Amino acid sequence: MIAENSPSPEFDEVERARDSMRLLGAFLSMLKSRVITHRRFYLAHAITFGCNSKCRMCTYWQLTPRMKEDLRTEGVYQLLDEAYDSGMRAYYIFGGEPLIRKDIGRIVDYAKGRGFLTTMNTNASLLASKAASLTNLDLAFVSLDYNEYHDLIRGRKGSFDDAAGPHTQVEKL
């Protein structure tokens, strides 16, 4: 993404070109992997044991006390370096709930800086408060259910409002 307060139009141009190359690199990596090398191109990373929801169909949130075992920031950087060096160009972050990590913005920045396409699966409950640190996230996948069923399924009152907050155009039906 291009910063809103870029220093100059030339800077924007360079950033845009760099971003296009990154996305092209991710696409070519996928193509090469599927057609020629059959090597992995997509790093899917369960980045934390923790989750702030209690979804009925999931037991992952019960692992939240194990968050202290999460790979630390430097370890994630190392993982990304190794993945990049092995030819991977897309990074998919899931959990648990990735946004409960304090360093999630820095990790996304690092991944994009290395040249990855950055994507994330999130319950979006913290998206409004973390949005400013996620300018380098390319895609976020969010599941929403019909109004009160959303909260019922996730075991947490206010989940729908948190997820469909001011950062989205979603309205209650």
Pick one of 123, 126, 136, 138: the residue that binds ligand SF4 (CB under 6 A): 123
- Is residue 157 packed enough to be buried (19+ CB in 10 Å), middle (13-18) or exposed (0-12)? exposed
Q: Is the Cβ–Cβ distance between 70 and 50 less than 8 Å?
A: yes
**Minimum distance of ligand SF4 from residue 100's CB (angstroms):** 10
Q: Is the Cβ–Cβ distance between 167 and 133 less than 8 Å?
A: no
95 binds ligand SF4 (CB under 6 A): yes
Q: Is the Cβ–Cβ distance between 65 and 111 less than 8 Å?
A: no
**Minimum distance of ligand SF4 from residue 65's CB (angstroms):** 14
Window contacting ligand SF4 (CB under 6 A); options: 14-22, 30-38, 47-55, 164-172: 47-55
Q: What are phi and psi of 120, to 5 degrees?
A: -150, 140
Pick one of 43, 47, 51, 108: the residue that binds ligand SF4 (CB under 6 A): 51
Positions in the binding site for ligand SF4 (CB under 6 A): 51, 53-55, 58, 60-61, 95-97, 123, 154
